[in-house]
């Protein structure tokens, strides 16, 4: 019985050593998106809605979930002076915003949502 246990342990160690590539997962690619923090980070205009957010990097598998929550892959960087202008002129506080994107009214009206 001891001999059988010894042979099984040695066989298990050999299998573990011989197949290390199956236990290592390939890391996913990262994608940059504009992540919207809250509903307060929007500014309605005559042509649509400006949505302010923070640029973050997420795994490819998480992109679809972020887009479903209103984040966007297509965005612009928010210049520091423009952020100060919105805070002074409109009274909108954007402490964490470093990017924004635009959603036209017709897109919202026809069911596209804020994406």
Q: Structural domain boundaries of the chain? A: 26-109
Q: What percent of the chain has pLDDT over 90?
A: 12
**Could you tell me if 34 and 101 are in contact, meaning their C-beta atoms sit under 8 angstroms apart?**
yes
pLDDT digits (tens, 9 = 90+) for 81-99: 777 787 788 777 776 788 8
The pLDDT score that the predictor gives to residue 58 is 93
pLDDT digits (tens, 9 = 90+) for 25-38: 677 889 999 988 77
The pLDDT score that the predictor gives to residue 56 is 92
> For residue 62, is pLDDT > 80?
yes
**Could you tell me if 107 and 55 are in contact, meaning their C-beta atoms sit under 8 angstroms apart?**
no
Rounded distance between C-alpha atoms, residue 115 and residue 104, angstroms = 10
* Cβ neighbours of 42 (radius 10 Å): 18
How big is the chain by its Cα radius of gyration, in Å? 25
Extract the tokens encoding 89: 């002129």
* Cβ neighbours of 94 (radius 10 Å): 21
**Could you tell me if 97 and 56 are in contact, meaning their C-beta atoms sit under 8 angstroms apart?**
no
């Amino acid at each position: 019985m001891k001999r059988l246990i010894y042979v099984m342990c040695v066989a298990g160690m050999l299998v573990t050593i011989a197949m290390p590539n199956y236990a290592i997962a390939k890391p996913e690619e990262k994608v940059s998106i504009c992540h919207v923090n809250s509903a307060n980070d929007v500014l309605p205009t005559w042509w649509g809605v400006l949505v302010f957010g923070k640029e973050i990097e997420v795994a490819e598998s998480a992109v679809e979930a972020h887009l479903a929550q209103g984040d966007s892959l297509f965005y612009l960087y928010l210049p520091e002076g423009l952020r100060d202008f919105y805070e002074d002129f409109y009274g909108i506080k954007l402490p964490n915003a470093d990017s924004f994107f635009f959603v036209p009214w017709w897109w919202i009206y026809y069911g596209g949502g804020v994406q």
